[in-house]
Amino acid sequence: MGLQEGRGRYEEVVELGEVSYDEEEGNEEGRVASTSRSRSRGRERVPYGRRKEGRVWDWVRELSWRDPRTALAGLCLALLVVVALETLVVTIFAGVNGGRGGGSVVLEPERSLHEDYEGRSRVVRGGSGVVAADQGDCSEQGARALRAGGHAVDAAVATAFCLGVKNPFASGIGGGAFILVRLADGTAEAIDAREPAPALATERMFVGDPKKALEGGLAVAVPMEILGLHRAWERHGRLPWKDLVMPAAELAKGFAAHPYLVRSVERHRDAMEKFPDLGKIFMPRGRAPRVGETCCGRPRLSKTLEEIAINGPRVLYEGELARGLARDVQEAGGILTTGDLEQAKPRNLEVLEAEVMGMRVVTLPPPSSGAVVVSILKQIEARGFPVTTSGALGKHWLVEAMKNSFAARMSLGDPGTKSDPFLDAAKIEGVVEDLVSPKFAKSLVDATLDYGVRPAEEYGGIHGPFYVPDDNGTSHLSIVDADQNAVSMTTTINTGFGSKLVSRSTGILLNNEMDDFSIPGQPNTYGLAPSEANYVRGGKKPLSSMSPIIASGMDDGGLKIVLGGSGGPRIITAIAETFLGYVDRRLSPSDALQEPRLHHQLFPEDLLYENETSREIMTQLPLFGHRLKHENGGLGNCQMVVMENGTAVAVSDHRKDGAPSKVDDDKLQ
């Protein structure tokens, strides 16, 4: 916007493509002026004290410092400017409570691109092994397992148990996981430890009251995380199970609060008040813990973890612990039974494999969304690799690829479910084959408009259109050991603090994974449209956005990338953007992970962008027809390890204040 002065008048000009600002929220909303406009205003003098509305600019220009009245007015104006600037600075470094209650102002943890709150680097290099998790102390727990001679799977067990205690809002033994293991010889394995619905669950159990899928006993699906971890450990672990779990049991007695935990507790103040057992743990003094303050002691959880460490995970699924857990859920209105726990078993899946940009990428098939990530990458590759997804046109292509892939995702579900009238396993297999197919990617690209967008129902190719509709609490870890065995694992309790239900007998904070199912006529908490293939059914696993991937070289078969993320459906786009940044645009591992992201999931029809997005992108993308919406929080949180010249480089995302850890040769036992 510029001011052009003329004879006794000025014009305010808005150039084509300039982003306007929402005056109430202070955010750039991406509303674009379609034409230049100007308006003229006369500059007649108005006596002091009788200024007309809209003449403030003229009045400021006419201030005379020789006149005491105008001098005083000028000083007042200067003071107001100083106060406004101070307020702006405070606003930048503080965030407004994002929960449904509370409403207090929360200081943001410092989001340094290079260091976490304790000064640990976001990037480490190590030839003997590295761990990247979204909490630095837990990365170090995994690194200790590697120093003791452990396999990457040992490190994953230690890291995951630690995360469940130190980041309880995101993961824990009350949730589930997908685990992708790539061995040094190049073979890969996939373990599905996703939480199934209790046997008594029905398709319409949340119709009319979808909030019950979010909070309380009815929201709880069968916990599976430790069963998946134990399955992987049985196959590849080198260290005693007890040694990997006991550190988490000690942590559960209490630990120093870190900034991201403090922020998460404050955001969920309303839930802490609504669910007293949750509040007693995280707000025992009626407030969130202060950074560095010992907090969150959970003696019952500590005892449960000790039992699991000594006797193995089945103690939670059979016997007294299982009976207590089922009873606690039922007393809170849930339908989890001891039978559900006794029958709980992880599944070994055949890995999904695709060639992408000269690499062999492996991931998990549904109910994971690994195929959706691959589909985005294949569409970009179909334009001619390298295509460089920078600049407005490149970002437009990327966003259109996101929308196509989310449209096709609507046809996915859990193919392992038997006798589901809404789910055709053969059809799901066909959709997955298309999502990783170069031919299908090319057909989607051919239908994409280079300088415009299409109606939502036209996305997804032969797997669209679909009917128009009426991951927050997640963690990821990426690990490579000295032998280049690798683990990419995503674990979750779904939304922040899961169901908000704490089992009184076990101390476990339970998931609300039932919200990841589709409810007829109702989008879920992330705004994803309902899909018949993902309707609730007893024993069925809900479709997940979790999409861990591992990439190897096509020529030499050597390990290249271990990558995954957290953040609901934003996981999918965050992984794709990070991969493209590193492989397509050849950014450094740190820049690929930390640069600003975009996200579009087709419904709602908003293109989300982060704070640091360039003005060029914000200005030009609306010209393609995209409706921009500012996202104050991060768009997904990724953890990545890449191999460069035989050295593992681990990077953790600043958006969740993560920090990686490495194995120093001089610390090896």
Report the pLDDT value the prediction gives residue 69, as an integer from 0 to 100.
55
Distance between CA atoms of residues 185 and 1, nearest Å: 60
Residue 315 lies in a domain: yes
Distance between CA atoms of residues 422 and 7, nearest Å: 72
Report the pLDDT value the prediction gives residue 325, as an integer from 0 to 100.
99
**Residue partners of 92: CB distance under 8 A and separation at least 6:** none
Could you tell me the two tokens for 444?
A: 């989607």
Residue 60 lies in a domain: no
Query: Could you give phi then psi for residue 211, rounded to 5 degrees?
Result: -65, -20
Considering only residues 546 and 426, tell me which one the structure prediction assigns the higher pLDDT.
546
Confidence of residue 161 (pLDDT cuts 50, 70, 90): very high
User: pLDDT tens for residues 200-244?
Assistant: 999 999 998 999 999 999 999 999 999 999 999 999 999 999 999
CB 198 within 8 A of CB 335: yes
Considering only residues 90 and 573, tell me which one the structure prediction assigns the higher pLDDT.
573
Residue 493, annotated ligand binder?
yes
At residue 512's C-alpha, the angle toward residues 510 and 515, to 5°, is: 170
Could you tell me the two tokens for 472?
A: 């927050």
| pLDDT (average), residues 645-656 | 94
Q: Which CATH number belongs to the domain containing residue 558 in this structure?
A: 3.60.20.40
User: pLDDT tens for residues 371-422?
Assistant: 999 999 999 999 988 877 888 999 999 999 999 999 999 889 998 887 677 7
- Per-residue burial over 590-608, b if 16 or more Cβ lie within 10 Å, else e, is bebbbbebbbbbbbeebbb
Report the pLDDT value the prediction gives residue 119, as an integer from 0 to 100.
86
Query: Could you give phi then psi for residue 155, rounded to 5 degrees?
Result: -65, -35
CB 107 within 8 A of CB 93: yes
Residue 534, annotated ligand binder?
no
Residue 385 lies in a domain: no
Report the pLDDT value the prediction gives residue 468, as an integer from 0 to 100.
29
pLDDT over 90 (residue 7): no
Residue 440 lies in a domain: no
Residue 658, annotated ligand binder?
no
Which ranges constitute the DSSP H helices of 25-67?
56-61
Cα dihedral sign, 405-408-410-411: negative
- Per-residue burial over 346-374, b if 16 or more Cβ lie within 10 Å, else e, is beebebbebebbebbbbbbbbbbbbbbbb
CB 478 within 8 A of CB 160: no
Report the pLDDT value the prediction gives residue 135, as an integer from 0 to 100.
96
What is the DSSP secondary structure assignment for residue 502, as one 8-state letter?
B
Alpha-carbon distances of 563 from 571, 583, 594, 639, rounded to whole Å: 11, 13, 14, 6
CB 309 within 8 A of CB 251: no
Considering only residues 478 and 18, tell me which one the structure prediction assigns the higher pLDDT.
478
Query: Quick check: bond before 472 cis, omega within 30?
Result: yes
Residue 488, annotated ligand binder?
no
pLDDT over 70 (residue 93): no
Bridging pattern class, strands 28-32 and 40-42: unpaired
Report the pLDDT value the prediction gives residue 532, as an integer from 0 to 100.
82
Residue 151 lies in a domain: yes
pLDDT over 70 (residue 83): no
| pLDDT (average), residues 40-64 | 39
DSSP string, 422-481: T--HHHHHHHHHHHT-HHHHHHHHHTS-TT----GGGTTGGG---PPP---EEEEEEEEE
Report the pLDDT value the prediction gives residue 637, as an integer from 0 to 100.
95
pLDDT over 50 (residue 559): yes
Confidence of residue 665 (pLDDT cuts 50, 70, 90): low
pLDDT over 80 (residue 484): yes
Beta strands in 224-268 (DSSP E): 255-256
| pLDDT (average), residues 627-645 | 94
pLDDT over 80 (residue 97): no
| pLDDT (average), residues 612-634 | 93
Structural domain of residue 204, as residue ranges?
Answer: 107-350+470-667
User: pLDDT tens for residues 602-620?
Assistant: 988 999 999 889 999 999 9
Confidence of residue 664 (pLDDT cuts 50, 70, 90): confident
Radius of gyration of the chain (CA): 27
Could you tell me the two tokens for 567?
A: 């953040």
User: pLDDT tens for residues 60-78?
Assistant: 445 444 555 555 555 555 5
pLDDT over 70 (residue 529): no
Considering only residues 633 and 53, tell me which one the structure prediction assigns the higher pLDDT.
633
Report the pLDDT value the prediction gives residue 80, as an integer from 0 to 100.
54
Distance between CA atoms of residues 567 and 587, nearest Å: 23
User: pLDDT tens for residues 103-144?
Assistant: 222 334 445 778 888 888 999 999 899 999 999 999 999 999
In 3-state terms, what secondary structure has residue 544?
coil
Could you tell me the two tokens for 627?
A: 């409706």
CB-based burial label for 49 (10 Å; 0-12, 13-18, 19+): exposed
Residue 28 lies in a domain: no
Number of Cα atoms under 13 Å in the Cβ half of residue 93: 7
| pLDDT (average), residues 87-104 | 33
Residue positions annotated with a catalytic role: 474
Residue 492, annotated ligand binder?
yes
Confidence of residue 54 (pLDDT cuts 50, 70, 90): very low
Report the pLDDT value the prediction gives residue 422, as an integer from 0 to 100.
72
- Among 13-17, 263-267, 344-348, 663-667, the range scoring the smallest mean pLDDT is 13-17
Work out how many domains the chain is built from and give that number. 1
Report the pLDDT value the prediction gives residue 515, as an integer from 0 to 100.
93
**Residue partners of 45: CB distance under 8 A and separation at least 6:** 62
Cα dihedral sign, 491-497-499-505: positive
Residue 158 lies in a domain: yes
At residue 532's C-alpha, the angle toward residues 530 and 534, to 5°, is: 75
Reported pTM: 0.82
Confidence of residue 571 (pLDDT cuts 50, 70, 90): very high
pLDDT over 70 (residue 623): yes
pLDDT over 70 (residue 568): yes
Considering only residues 130 and 21, tell me which one the structure prediction assigns the higher pLDDT.
130
> Phi/psi class of residue 26: alpha, beta or left (left: φ > 0; alpha: ψ in -120 to 50)?
left
| pLDDT (average), residues 635-656 | 95
Residue 175 lies in a domain: yes
Residue 645, annotated ligand binder?
no
The percentage of residues in the chain with a pLDDT greater than 70, rounded to a whole number, is 80
* Mean per-residue pLDDT over the chain, rounded: 84
User: pLDDT tens for residues 269-290?
Assistant: 999 999 999 999 999 999 999 9
pLDDT over 50 (residue 51): no
Report the pLDDT value the prediction gives residue 386, as an integer from 0 to 100.
82
